[in-house]
Chain A
Amino acid sequence: MTRPARPGTGGDHRMTETYDADADTAVDGLDARLVVVRGAFRLDVALTVAPGEVVALLGPNGAGKTTALRALAGLTPLTEGHLRLDGAELDRTPPESRPVGVVFQDYLLFPHLTALDNVAFGPRCQGASKAEARARAAEWLDRLGLADHAGAKPRKLSGGQAQRVALARALATRPRLLLLDEPLAALDARTRLEVRAQLQRHLAEFEAVAVLVTHDPLDAMVLADRLVVVEHGRVVQQGSPSDIARHPRTDYIAQLVGLNLYRGEADGHAVRLDGGPAITTAEHLSGPVYVAFPPSAVTLHRDRPTGSSARNLWRCEVAGLETHGDQIRADLAGELPLAADLTTVAAAELDLHPGAEVWATVKATQTHAYPV
Chain B
Amino acid sequence: MSPTSDKAAAATESLRGGPRRRRVRSGVPLPLLFPALIGLAFLVVPLIALLVRTPWHSLPEQLTSPDVWQALRLSLICATAATAVSLVLGVPLAWLLARVEFPGRGLVRALVTLPLVLPPVVGGVALLMALGRNGIVGQWLDSWFGITLPFTTTGVVIAEAFVAMPFLVISVEGTLRAADPRYEEAATTLGASRFTAFRRVTLPLIAPGIAAGAVLAWARALGEFGATITFAGNFPGRTQTMPLAVYLALQSEPEAAIALSLVLLAVSIAVLAGLRDRWMSAG
CA distance A275 to B172 in the complex (A): 63
- CB nearest to B192 among chain A residues: A125
- Given A121-B200, A125-B196, A108-B191 contact (CB < 8 Å): no
Is A370 positioned at the interface, with any CB of B under 8 Å from its CB? Answer: no
Looking at the complex, which of B85-93, B106-114, B179-187, B268-276 is the stretch in contact with chain A? Answer: B179-187
Is A169 positioned at the interface, with any CB of B under 8 Å from its CB? Answer: yes
Name the one of B180, B182, B192, B207 contacting A96, with C-beta atoms under 8 angstroms: B192
* Distance (whole angstroms) from the CB of A115 to the closest CB of chain B: 14
Say whether A173 contacts B182, CB under 8 Å: no
* Distance (whole angstroms) from the CB of A188 to the closest CB of chain B: 21
* Distance (whole angstroms) from the CB of B202 to the closest CB of chain A: 10
- Given A110-B201, A112-B204, A100-B189 contact (CB < 8 Å): yes
Is A362 positioned at the interface, with any CB of B under 8 Å from its CB? Answer: no
CA distance A98 to B186 in the complex (A): 13
Q: Which of B191, B192, B205 has the most CB of A within 10 A?
A: B191
* Distance (whole angstroms) from the CB of A106 to the closest CB of chain B: 9
Say whether A73 contacts B189, CB under 8 Å: yes
CA distance A173 to B189 in the complex (A): 9
CA distance A74 to B190 in the complex (A): 12
* Distance (whole angstroms) from the CB of A242 to the closest CB of chain B: 33
Say whether A95 contacts B188, CB under 8 Å: yes
Say whether B192 contacts A121, CB under 8 Å: yes
CA distance A100 to B191 in the complex (A): 9
> Which residues of chain A from 3 to 35 have any CB-CB distance to chain B below 8 Å in the complex?
none
Say whether A169 contacts B205, CB under 8 Å: no
Say whether B205 contacts A96, CB under 8 Å: no
Is B193 positioned at the interface, with any CB of A under 8 Å from its CB? Answer: yes
> Which residues of chain A from 315 to 330 have any CB-CB distance to chain B below 8 Å in the complex?
none
| Chain B residues near A108 (CB-CB < 8 A) | 180, 182-183, 185-186
> Which residues of chain A from 155 to 186 have any CB-CB distance to chain B below 8 Å in the complex?
169-170, 173
Say whether A173 contacts B190, CB under 8 Å: yes
Number of interface residues of A (CB under 8 A): 24
| Chain A residues near B192 (CB-CB < 8 A) | 96, 121, 125
- CB nearest to A102 among chain B residues: B189
Q: Which of B186, B201, B205, B207 has the most CB of A within 10 A?
A: B186
Say whether A96 contacts B193, CB under 8 Å: yes
Name the one of B190, B194, B207 contacting A169, with C-beta atoms under 8 angstroms: B190
CA distance A95 to B188 in the complex (A): 6
Say whether A173 contacts B191, CB under 8 Å: yes
* Distance (whole angstroms) from the CB of B188 to the closest CB of chain A: 4
CA distance A189 to B183 in the complex (A): 27
* Distance (whole angstroms) from the CB of B185 to the closest CB of chain A: 5
Say whether B205 contacts A112, CB under 8 Å: yes
| Chain A residues near B191 (CB-CB < 8 A) | 96-97, 122, 125-126, 173
- CB nearest to B196 among chain A residues: A125
In order of increasing CB-CB distance, the 7 nearest A-B pairs are A125-B191, A122-B190, A108-B186, A112-B204, A102-B189, A95-B188, A125-B192
Q: Which residues of A contact B (CB under 8 A)?
A: 73-75, 94-98, 100-102, 104, 108, 110-113, 121-122, 125-126, 169-170, 173
Q: Which residues of B contact A (CB under 8 A)?
A: 180, 182-183, 185-194, 196, 200-201, 204-205, 207
Q: With A104-B182, A112-B207 given, can you name 18 additional A-B contacts, CB distance below 8 Å?
A: A74-B188, A74-B189, A95-B185, A95-B188, A95-B189, A96-B189, A96-B194, A100-B189, A102-B189, A104-B186, A108-B180, A108-B186, A110-B204, A112-B204, A112-B205, A122-B190, A170-B190, A173-B191
